[in-house]
Chain A
Amino acid sequence: MSNMFSITNIKNRFISVIAPDIPPLPSSHSHQLHRGNISGAPSNYQLRMAHQQKKPDKFAYARPPFLQLLTIDELRASADHNVRPIIVPRDITLLPWGTGYAECVNSGKSEWNEDQAAFARQVLSDPTHSHPDLPYTYYGIFDGHAGYGAALAASHQFHHILHEKLVDCLELLLPRDEDAANSKQDSSFPHPSHFQRRVSKDELIIGALESAFFNMDALIAQDRDRYRDAGGCTACVALFINGKLFVANAGDSRAVLSQRKSKCIEKNNATTGAITNADNGTGAQEVFAVPFSFDHTPETERLRLLTVARLKPHLMEKQYAAMEYAKRPHMKDLGQRILCRQGTMKGWTYKTLTRDDLRMPVVTGEGKRSRLLGTLGVTRGFGDHDLLAINTGTQIKPFLTPHPEVVIRDLSKIVSIPDENNEDGDYGILVMATDGLWDVSENDAVARTVFQTLDKYPTEKHRYTMVAQELVARARGKINDSGHWRLADSKAAATVDDISVIVIPVYQYYKEHVEWEKRCAQVLQERRAKVTQSATEACEDESLLVNGVTKAQVEVEHDDAEEEEEVVVEVNRQQAQATVELEEDASQKAESSGQTDPLSAHQSAEKDVKDLIEHELSAAISALDATESSEDDKKEAKESSVTTPEKTYKAQQPQQQQQHQHHRNRNRKDKR
């Protein structure tokens, strides 16, 4: 919202030139001046606001934690309005998948950078461990206005609210056996006992996002009793879950997926492949941008705003008109015909101008300059509960909504041919940024910059950080001798607003998801096998033998697998022993099942499975963390597979767990 408070912005800029170093201020200056502008507003309101300003901040001002700007000195230096340094994480491993981030402060319109960014990695897990866990990753970007409080609160709290919402429908989201059976019929599942209609997982996640947006807004409203008024902010949130990308947006921040078509065709046509590979990489036709959010400005939301005005005319307090005029009407035009559109009309018509028509339209201006009640340039987001319109003091909040629009991409449907090495192009790079970027950069230009920069740094770990930095650098431009920020290439005005950019390599998430899926499928398979095994105990011998071999071989792996001959002997010996042991086990089980009815046997089996899954998942998660060490595991497993060809190395860990489980079962039964 670069030009929301243009007058006060200028004022601030003048002050900034001569002001000595001052302490960090809790509230943006423009906020207070803005309040003071309200002419004719009841003075008790101003008193309330004065009281409001004495309340503490809910969160101390800070930049996103992954930037590690820990001291007030660093914070101050990063907010240098004359230089506008581009800040990137000093430790790029703090963000998953090599995700890039860069930001830059405004040129002086507010003391602090009022944008905020956040990310979180979480796991949805069933307290009873009857289903495998479901991990997810969240990124959020929030553009504050009229103070930094709302954006700061959202960056601290939104992901907690979202997590609660997801946990609410946990049992419907977690992967389960039925999914495998019904995998052909989409991921939706009929639950006639719970729902009148089929509700898909996607709809549940969309619902979680939507309700989290509403709750965040309500929380900011509640906090006004105890904390300083937070102002407002936009919210653009990306959620990576279940192999899908969800982008929820409220406001004029934007998420755009930068994609690039595969280069294979050119490669095939070219006689000298190496050369075309290098310079066709950034060809304009190949690169394209797919919008993943819609801006919510008075202009784009005209229909909704005028519907609100029409249905609740009292909100306009007889100060505004649900009308739009082709040209601004004046007193002298009274009684004349004037071109206008009334309410939610799309086309234009003539009407005779009356005195009431001289009121200010609910929506004025076009494009980035469009305003709601002549004041606000953004129509969805969090906060703004106390925001009053300039000059009239009319409440603005009833026209606003935190309701996000959600866009989904199912990443499993994307085809990417490994030989083409175009994963970043096929899956796309998700660029989430505040309007500081989008005000001066077209989506397609951003997409081109993304791939140009990636080509420049083909292997660097920080390549996505470089993309974010480059995007911010271009939008910020350079300051000229007269102190104006200009774009480097066109000399047009650069953005004077705060700029924040997140650059997410979507394929890196998908890779992680595929790994998780494999583990998950395996867990479910194990579980099924276990259930069958326990339920049909009479014909157990064969499977037990298999388990016996497995056990022996698991123990082999604990030994030094280098001496193969010894290993074989060991296996044989242990195999024999294990078979004996397990036969005993089986007979014991048969005994116990003789005493109890089949249902309870089944229940105990299910309990075993729960324990089993609990173990396996903890193993799977630790394996996720240590993907590097898995290389060694694979090697080891290959060596051992010489002696036991039945086993694949992927099954190694769970089988080991299963054996432990077996021992435990036996112990339990012994106790009985």
Chain B
Amino acid sequence: MSYAYLFKYIIIGDTGVGKSCLLLQFTDKRFQPVHDLTIGVEFGARMITIDGKQIKLQIWDTAGQEAFRSITRSYYRGAAGALLVYDITRRETFNHLTTWLEDARQHSNSNMVIMLIGNKSDLDSRREVKKEEGEAFAREHGLVFMETSARTAANVEEAFINTAKEIYEKIQEGVFDINNEANGIKIGQQHSPTNPSLPGAGNQAGSASSGCC
């Protein structure tokens, strides 16, 4: 399927906050209560529509464990959006947000849109971080904020799509240099009619003229 833009996202945050579950809920619309520890990085993709334009989200789901931090840092490069996730039932995951944010700001391009997400909103009875605290943190650091539940799918669509809307607006405003792939945005076939349409996964008969990705 062709698209107008491809946005690259990265999901970051402490281990066990539900990063992989958010991705799975968004891409596959399902919840997996027991999820293996993510080692390294995993990828997801989904097409969304904004302003009548097809936009493909390519999402990098990273390992939250401290041991992977240095490798994860190298993945901020070339991301247009980041979902910074904490767990509302574990205060320490909220406390670590500052470190995550510093990492993200230091290693990404300055225009990267960061969405703060308080996940596991379905577990209200075990809540340790108030919604207001999340809102305050987001306001203070200029982030968009949302509470989500990967289990019930509450706000999951919105979190991913709102981030995309923000990126899209920045493109309209000319903030992003969309010709620099390192910004996490690619222009798709819909913008370059001279290119042949994108063949399917199994089709290897593409033309060699467009060079290397």
A21 and B40 form a contact (CB under 8 A): no
B204 and A82 form a contact (CB under 8 A): no
B162 at the interface (CB under 8 A from A): no
* Cα separation A417 to B75 with both chains bound (whole Å): 43
Q: With A23-B199, A92-B39 as known contacts, state yes or no: A16 contacts B212, CB within 8 Å.
A: yes
Q: With A20-B192, A469-B39 as known contacts, state yes or no: A57 contacts B78, CB within 8 Å.
A: no
Which stretch in B92-100, B125-133, B181-189 binds the other chain?
B181-189
Among B180, B202, B213, find the residue whose CB has the most chain A CB atoms closer than 10 A.
B213
A82 and B40 form a contact (CB under 8 A): no
Contact-residue bracket for chain B = 35 or more
Interface members, chain B 181-213 (any A CB < 8 Å):
181-182, 186-189, 191-192, 195-196, 198-206, 208, 210-213
B179 at the interface (CB under 8 A from A): yes
* Cα separation A457 to B182 with both chains bound (whole Å): 34
Q: From A91, which residue of chain B is reached at the shortest CB distance?
A: B36
CB < 8 Å: which of B42, B74, B196 contacts A478?
B74
Interface members, chain A 26-43 (any B CB < 8 Å):
26-27, 29, 32
Q: With A83-B77, A85-B60, A86-B40 as known contacts, state yes or no: A60 contacts B213, CB within 8 Å.
A: no
B24 at the interface (CB under 8 A from A): no
B48 at the interface (CB under 8 A from A): no
Interface members, chain B 1-31 (any A CB < 8 Å):
6
Contact-residue bracket for chain A = 35 or more
A76 at the interface (CB under 8 A from B): yes
CB < 8 Å: which of B41, B67, B210 contacts A85?
B41
* Cα separation A111 to B192 with both chains bound (whole Å): 20
B70 at the interface (CB under 8 A from A): yes
A29 and B78 form a contact (CB under 8 A): no
B42 and A90 form a contact (CB under 8 A): yes
**In the complex, which residues of chain A have a beta carbon less than 8 angstroms from the beta carbon of B201?**
24, 71-72, 75
**In the complex, which residues of chain B have a beta carbon less than 8 angstroms from the beta carbon of A19?**
210-213
* Least Cβ–Cβ distance between A563 and chain B, in angstroms: 39
B212 and A60 form a contact (CB under 8 A): no
A78 and B210 form a contact (CB under 8 A): no
* Cα separation A75 to B40 with both chains bound (whole Å): 15
* Least Cβ–Cβ distance between B76 and chain A, in angstroms: 9
* Cα separation A57 to B206 with both chains bound (whole Å): 12
* Cα separation A83 to B43 with both chains bound (whole Å): 13
A20 and B187 form a contact (CB under 8 A): yes
A473 at the interface (CB under 8 A from B): yes
Among B40, B41, B67, B71, find the residue whose CB has the most chain A CB atoms closer than 10 A.
B40
Q: A interface, by DSSP: helix, strand, loop or mixed?
A: loop
**In the complex, which residues of chain B have a beta carbon less than 8 angstroms from the beta carbon of A27?**
208
CB < 8 Å: which of B43, B198, B200, B203 contacts A74?
B43
B58 at the interface (CB under 8 A from A): yes
A15 and B70 form a contact (CB under 8 A): no
A469 and B40 form a contact (CB under 8 A): yes
A78 and B212 form a contact (CB under 8 A): no
B41 and A87 form a contact (CB under 8 A): yes
B204 and A73 form a contact (CB under 8 A): no
**In the complex, which residues of chain A have a beta carbon less than 8 angstroms from the beta carbon of B40?**
85-88, 102, 469
Q: From B206, which residue of chain A is reached at the shortest CB distance?
A: A23
Q: From A61, which residue of chain B is reached at the shortest CB distance?
A: B204
B204 and A57 form a contact (CB under 8 A): yes
A82 and B78 form a contact (CB under 8 A): yes
* Cα separation A20 to B210 with both chains bound (whole Å): 8
A462 at the interface (CB under 8 A from B): yes
* Cα separation A23 to B208 with both chains bound (whole Å): 9
CB < 8 Å: which of B43, B179, B199, B213 contacts A73?
B43
Q: From A85, which residue of chain B is reached at the shortest CB distance?
A: B41
**In the complex, which residues of chain B have a beta carbon less than 8 angstroms from the beta carbon of A108?**
212
* Cα separation A79 to B213 with both chains bound (whole Å): 9
* Least Cβ–Cβ distance between B70 and chain A, in angstroms: 7
B213 and A111 form a contact (CB under 8 A): yes
Q: With A23-B199, A479-B77 as known contacts, state yes or no: A16 contacts B41, CB within 8 Å.
A: no
Q: With A29-B211, A81-B213, A82-B78 as known contacts, state yes or no: A17 contacts B39, CB within 8 Å.
A: no
Cβ proximity bits B47-88 to A, threshold 8 Å, 1 near / 0 not = 000000000101010000001001100110110000000000
B45 at the interface (CB under 8 A from A): yes
* Cα separation A457 to B204 with both chains bound (whole Å): 42
Among A71, A80, A473, A479, find the residue whose CB has the most chain B CB atoms closer than 10 A.
A80
* Cα separation A454 to B51 with both chains bound (whole Å): 51
A15 and B211 form a contact (CB under 8 A): yes
Interface members, chain A 2-56 (any B CB < 8 Å):
12-13, 15-27, 29, 32, 56
Q: Which 7 A-B pairs have the closest CB atoms?
A: A15-B211, A73-B45, A23-B206, A72-B201, A77-B43, A26-B204, A88-B40
Q: List 28 A-B contacts (CB under 8 A).
A: A12-B212, A16-B181, A16-B213, A17-B180, A18-B179, A20-B187, A21-B6, A21-B187, A21-B188, A22-B195, A24-B204, A73-B58, A77-B45, A77-B60, A81-B212, A81-B213, A82-B77, A82-B181, A83-B75, A83-B78, A85-B40, A86-B40, A86-B41, A87-B41, A91-B36, A102-B40, A469-B39, A478-B74
A sample of 18 more A-B contacts (CB under 8 A), given A60-B202, A111-B212, is A12-B211, A16-B181, A16-B212, A20-B186, A21-B6, A21-B187, A22-B195, A22-B211, A22-B213, A24-B201, A72-B200, A73-B43, A73-B45, A74-B43, A76-B213, A90-B42, A465-B39, A466-B67
